[in-house]
Amino acid sequence: MILIVHGGAGSKKPSGRNLRTLSVALSAGFDVLKGGGSALDAVEVAIVVMEDSGLFNAGLGGHLQFDGVKRLDAAVMEGKHLRAGSVIGLEGKKHPVRAARLVMDTPHVMFTDRGARMVASVLEPLPDISGKEIRKLSAIKRRHVEILKLYEEHFSTVGAVALDRYGDLAAGASTGGVAAMLPGRVGDTPVIGAGVYADNASGAVSCTGNGEAILRLSLAKEICMNLKTKSLSRASRHSLKRLLRIGGRAGVIVINRQGRFSIAHSTPYMASGYMNDKTSEVRPSFHR
């Protein structure tokens, strides 16, 4: 049994508070595994802690889009039956990862706003946008004359991957996208195969970084497939190099079916950590 979480990859050193929240997320998720819960449940619980904290670009802390609305993305996938669920641009809900899980439990896989809202109607609402958030959006808009610059910001998407006692893998991710981004823009997070992928036959992967570049590589699926022929760290580093070649930087957390794992990033920092039966570690930067 193992659980890995991350709180985004980027150029700024993660704060102590953010790292402590990752520890809390790890404990909460690993308790699920210890109690006989599934990898999918552990991934969901760990991500909910990060969405709740308001410290990451996900859930409560999700960035506002250009028009001042908070539209959130999330995805989950489990590796036994390859079931997956995702929501794109979900408004007014605090836990998009729970909405993604609800979608997974329908015959569908992906929903944009309308369908996502319907599926998520039972979930806890987001509080109103605060004055602080609106001032932050204005500051970002003023700072970046060119909208392109927005995409070079810190990526503080959150993600988790887990292996449970039954040998099943799962992956999940949740994000508020890019601060002040154009409404309707879709990054990698809610896209099965790009931001997340899980297959018991190979591994579980959750990615964060330049969403557009990750989409163009189908990064999570690529790493999963390469796990069949390459070692864990080689598979991760190989795809991160390919991503650099098309101009993208990212961080990835990967577990294979034996429970071995890799945390790798082409950004200076990636807040991340893991917990298994023996040990637990959380760091601002990880290369393993």
Interface with its own copies (CB under 8 A): 77, 81-84, 88-89, 107-118, 148, 151, 182-187, 191-194, 197, 211-212, 215-218, 221-222, 225, 246
Closer residue to its own copies in complex, CB, 17/108: 108
CA distances (Å), 199 to each of 146, 149, 173, 206, 256, in order?
40, 35, 16, 12, 9
In whole angstroms, the minimum distance from the beta carbon of 262 to its own copies comes to: 19
Closest CA to 272 of 250, 248, 252: 252
Catalytic, out of 157, 175, 189, 208? 157
Closer residue to its own copies in complex, CB, 127/183: 183
* Amino acid, res. 256: N
Closest CA to 207 of 231, 169, 172: 172
Closest CA to 210 of 56, 20, 36, 9: 9
Q: Is 157 among the catalytic positions?
A: yes
* Amino acid, res. 269: Y
| Cα gap 84→156, rounded to integer Å | 23
In whole angstroms, the minimum distance from the beta carbon of 136 to its own copies comes to: 22
- Cα angle 202, 221, 204; round to 5: 45
Closer residue to its own copies in complex, CB, 24/244: 244
Closer residue to its own copies in complex, CB, 28/217: 217
In whole angstroms, the minimum distance from the beta carbon of 113 to its own copies comes to: 6
In whole angstroms, the minimum distance from the beta carbon of 50 to its own copies comes to: 24
Catalytic residue positions, numbered: 157
